[in-house]
Amino acid sequence: MTDPVADFLTRLRNGAKAQHHDVSIPSSKLKREVARILKEQGYIEGYEVVPASAERPGETITVTLKYTKDRRPVISGIQRVSRPGQRHYVDHAHIPKIQGGMGTAIISTSRGVMTGHEARQLGIGGEVVAKVW
């Protein structure tokens, strides 16, 4: 696998379309931070880091998906922006606003992974990891 973050986002997208309750994904620091932001922004119910066991080597993240009352996924769209073959860096003035401010840009900065709104307030740029709306 060449892009683990794209795999993470695709598993979330596919799980939501199939209306699964939760999705298990191999863990990494960046994926945990993206899951933390998705929870803070209200796109998912929660996530849990499951430690390695005899049947599963390596940690996994179990993400509990969130749905509306009429059983539609809260995540209507999720897109990988910066890829291994084409990185996308922006300064604080050019951080994209997703869906006119209704969505969230996930930015990897020198101060950690944060939303585009937080990075804009702090006046720092970084790598645009993903867009969620």
**pLDDT of 56:** 82
Q: Do 61 and 38 belong together in one domain?
A: yes
Per-residue pLDDT tens for 70-120?
Answer: 999 999 999 999 999 999 999 999 999 999 989 999 999 999 999 999 999
Could you tell me if residue 71 is inside a domain?
A: no
pLDDT tier at 38, thresholds 50, 70, 90 = very high
Average predicted confidence (pLDDT) for the chain: 95
Residue pair 48/65 in contact by the 8 Å Cβ criterion: no
Share of the chain above pLDDT 70, in %: 100
Q: Domain end: 12, 37, 65, which one?
A: 65
Could you tell me if residue 73 is inside a domain?
A: no
**pLDDT of 54:** 85
- Which residues fall within 8 angstroms of residue 107, CB to CB, at 6 or more apart? 90, 95, 113, 114, 115, 116, 119, 125, 126, 127, 128, 129
- For the chain, what is the domain count? 2
User: Which one has a higher pLDDT value, 39 or 1?
Assistant: 39
Q: What mean pLDDT is predicted for residues 40-50? A: 96
Query: Could you tell me the residue range of the domain that residue 53 belongs to?
Result: 4-65
* pTM, entire model: 0.92
Could you tell me if residue 116 is inside a domain?
A: yes
- C-alpha distances out from residue 19 to 14, 32, 58, 77, 89, Å: 8, 22, 26, 14, 33
Share of the chain above pLDDT 90, in %: 92
Q: Do 28 and 59 belong together in one domain?
A: yes
**CATH code at position 19:** 3.30.1370.30
Could you tell me if residue 36 is inside a domain?
A: yes
pLDDT tier at 29, thresholds 50, 70, 90 = very high
Could you tell me if residue 46 is inside a domain?
A: yes
Is the model's pLDDT at 1 over the cut of 80?
no
